[in-house]
Structure 1
Amino acid sequence: MESKIYEELGISKEVFEFGENILNSLKDRFAKIDETAEYNQLKVLKAMQENKVSEACLLGTTGYGYNDLGRETLEAVYASVFHTEDALVRPQITCGTHALALALMSNLRPGDVLFSPAGKPYDTLEEVIGIRPSKGSLKEYGIEYVQTDLLSDGSFDYDRIKEVLLSNDKIRLATIQRSKGYQTRPTFSVERIGELIKFIKELRPDVICMVDNCYGEFVQRNEPTDVGADMVVGSLIKNPGGGLAPIGGYIAGKKECVENAAFRLTSPGLGKEVGASLGILPQFYQGFFLAPTVTASALKGAIFAANIYEKLGFAVIPNGSEERFDIIQAVTFGKPEGVIAFCEGVQAAAPVDSFVTPEPWDMPGYDAQVIMAAGAFVSGSSIELSADGPIKEPYSVFFQGGLTWPHAKLGILKTLQSLVNKGIVVLQ
């Protein structure tokens, strides 16, 4: 690629050439990502054809939303792709945290125990669970929480998990977070999640296994529901929305679990029968159709970032050569200036609000200031080029997204340029 257009976008010759040298070693990996995207693209297309998606499915409804053909067909498409009995896909689910809270609150009852066998969940779930006090938390409704931490090498502590499961017959649901969140542990592959679910089910077949699937959809050829998960939960402004869905979340899984969630989302007695789709269905359908290739672009960006910053001597998770199981790339700078400069670079690469300078702020649901960079067409969309991180030790930034590979590439080069300009990185 000729460097002139990159120079016009603020990328120096030395930064551009540094990136090009990295890219020359990634061609084979990118080809494998494209193969996975092709498989998943055809999987989605097959589901749409089998469920007879028609022009009428794109029209939407108003008011109560009774007999909404498009909504019901879309949920059937999701169930087909995730190989589940049912699915709930709604714009009334406001975000990923809401989808997770909905799945938990609808399938747990007072006196039940929620179990996390993979350590602490994502920060915003702490208030949902009641780890940090909050109005309406599970704890306020008499639902207790227990967890087992991962071993030092990032593996599951099967001995402790067995001990907890066999000593507490009130455990009703096990929640497994696929992605790392704001942690530096490895993301779990679908295969590893399947091994954990199999272990849990052999000991306690009555325990519901739910997987927080955020950032992981379409990264591999299979999904957690293909290896025994009773529910998968996610956000439509992440992978499955393909960058087009402006809001929404999904829960796919066993019919009873999904039905419980529907009754909680709307009302007992109403469930899935209400909830108008308004004019949003074309974006939901087309976004889901595009999601496999959009996810592939984000994956390429994450791998590019890992290899650049690993070569510069920073700790990166996953490392530059590891297999990928989500779209998130963590880079640890060890000081807040690195996190801030990285986010400034991502913001400067954005198509929207590129002129804005991101700053740390007291974001709701977090226990430290957070800086977020996302000049996105959909506010908060983390399948679009974005980066964020808490301003606390070890001062790691979390990069994700990119609707197209060229944009993801530019974003990473802009982060490097920002760090070079501030003297945090010196290229040899």
Structure 2
Amino acid sequence: MIEALLERFAVDPRVAAAGRRAAGACEGGRERAAARATVSAQMLAAFAAEGVADSDLAATYGYGYDDRGRERYDSLLRRIFGTESAFARLSLVSGTQAITATIEACTPADGRVIAAAGRPYDTLRNALVDAPHSLARRGARYDEIPLADDGGVDHGGLERACRAGVDVVLVQRSRGYAARRSLSARECGEVARTVKRAAPQALVLVDNCYGELVEPTEPTHHGADAVMGSLIKNLGGGIAPGGAYVAGRRSVVERVAARHYAPGLGTALGPSFGLTRALLQGLFAAPQAVTECLAGLDFAAALFSELGEEVHPPAGAPRYDIVQAIRLGSRQRLLAFARGLQRAMPVNARFAPEPGDVPGYREPVVMSAGAFIPGATIELSCDAPLRPPFEVYLQGGTSRSHGMLGALLAADSLAAC
């Protein structure tokens, strides 16, 4: 594959040589292949058990009562996450909305929320703390537990904080825009056990964005009360046109539905507008899309490591999300990376990304994206806040060849910087 790409796309000779070495270093991985096969088999089993029929694909409008396709989709998520209930709606337009809605639905007006894995990513923290009408501005208490020295959760500090009283503990699984490592599903379960020892009544809610289907198990298999995320990231398979989800304890899901629609209406609402086919097809394709994405990111890690850049995680290391961090050290190099990556995009490849202000972020952000579904970060993209240590966060890529090409062209742009 590397030779086919290098034959058709001219890159700096140093990048080409590093690309060949990186491709060789990424071959193999029997343990990872077994895990990917397990995830794929689990999705096949979920669909086989659910028994989706042609009639389930019919469109609904208005209130969306008796939408069998929507009910099938919710049930599939329940099977995948091993939960009592699930609630996926097109009217939940982002992971941030689903996460915020769940936290607010589960937190009393004078309650307390603890972020267990340090500062959440900028847009979520803004929604919870700083923005007008945020939870904290309406009277709830919000605290963050700084990360431990190893980049994981400080369980001692978390347990002490929980003993002082807490209603909701938020766990951000992915690294976000921070110099920290992502958490495995099992580590999220360890957080849940720590919290329950100190505050048995507290709810542990996991921001699962970028982490779905990366491992054979999910945080809810290990004791988390609920997970929340976007349908245009991992679960969308590059096909789903929008939406977000909550899956977990029935009591949590019912609270979210009551907050989203109105108390007493339950989960029976939500028209599909003829998009159920795309949602189901995207979910069915999601394990393979995530597999391809992980392979492309592993190549990117190997390539940029060969070129002397600091990467996390390194090639061959366990991955718990679809994000690759690459530390570039300067604003100029961040912009060069983003502009090089943009050349690989199937949409808007002729445009050059420019940094700009993004709601919820303190610094300008440069983004490279050419997705068929705007914001679908299961498709190849990168984000980079223009602040030290000037890390770029490479995401997605529904085919490994596209991920590899993006990495090569980004590296080529850096070589000319």
Percentage of identical aligned residues: 36
* 1:218 corresponds to which of 213, 220, 225: 213
Q: Is the 8 A contact 1:33 1:296 kept in 2?
A: no
Match of 1:353 among 336, 345, 348: 348
CA distance in 1, matches of 2:285, 2:373: 16
Cα distance between partner residues in 2 of 1:208 and 1:310: 40
Question: Is the CA contact (8 Å cut-off) linking 2:296 and 2:399 kept in structure 1?
Answer: no
TM-score, normalised on structure 1? 0.94
Residue type at the aligned position of 2:52: V
8 A contact 1:3–1:16 mirrored in 2: no
Read off the aligned partner of 1:64 and give its amino acid letter. Answer: Y
| Whole-angstrom distance in 1 between the partners of 2:61 and 2:380 | 33
1:42-57 alignment runs, 5 A limit: 42-57=41-56
After superposition, give the CA deviation of every residue in 1:156-206 in whole Å (9 maximum; x if it has no partner). Answer: 222222221112x2x101000000000010111112111121121122111
Report whether the alignment pairs 1:25 with 2:25. Answer: yes
Which secondary structure state, in structure 1, belongs to the residue aligned with residue 142 of structure 2?
strand
Distance in 1 (CA, whole Å) between partners of 2:4 and 2:180 is 39
Question: Could you give the per-residue CA deviations for residues 348-392 of structure 1, whole angstroms, max 9, x where no partner exists?
Answer: 001111101001000111110000001110011111000111001
Q: Which residue of 1 aligns with 2:60?
A: 61
Structure 1: 4+ residue segments shifted above 4 A: none
Q: Distance in 1 between matches of 2:235 and 2:315?
A: 25
For residue 147 of structure 2, what is the aligned residue in structure 1? Answer: 150
Opposite residue 116 of structure 1, the aligned amino acid is A
- Residue 308 of structure 1, CA deviation: 1.5
CA-to-aligned-CA distance 1:201-238 (integer Å, 9 cap, x gap): 12211110000001111111100000001000010111
**Given that residues 290 and 378 in structure 2 are in contact (C-alpha distance below 8 angstroms), is that contact kept between their aligned partners in structure 1?**
yes
* 1:135-284 equivalences in 2 (<5 Å): 135-167=132-164, 169=165, 171-284=166-279
C-alpha displacement of 1:271: 2.7
**Structure 1 residues 139 and 2, CA gap change in structure 2 (3 angstroms):** closer
What displacement does 1:103 show? 0.8
User: Are residues 1:8 and 2:8 paired?
Assistant: yes
Q: Deviation of residue 404 (structure 1)? A: 0.7
Mapping 1:303-314, distance limit 5 Å: 303-314=298-309
- What is the CA-CA distance between 1:399 and the residue it aligns to? 0.2
Contact 1:264–1:271 (CA<8 Å) still a contact in 2?
no
Q: What residue in structure 1 maps to residue 34 of structure 2?
A: 35
Corresponding residue number in structure 2 for 1:425: none
Change (3 A) 1:52 1:4: closer
The 3-state SS of whatever aligns with 2:87 is strand
CA root-mean-square deviation: 1.4
CA contact (8 A) 2:63 2:271 kept: yes
Residues in 2 aligned to 1:295 and 1:264: alpha-carbon distance in whole angstroms = 31
Q: CA 1:265–1:10 in structure 2 vs 1: closer, same or farther (change >3 Å)?
A: farther
Once the two structures are TM-superposed, the CA of residue 13 in structure 1 deviates from its matched residue by 4.9
Q: Distance in 1 between matches of 2:304 and 2:223?
A: 36
1:374 aligns with 2:373: no
Q: 8 Å contact 1:245–1:283 — kept in the other structure? A: yes
Q: How far is the alpha carbon of 1:6 from its aligned partner?
A: 3.4
What TM-score, normalized by structure 2, do the two folds share?
Answer: 0.97
Which structure 2 residues correspond to residues 87-126 of structure 1 after superposition, within 5 A? 87-126=86-125
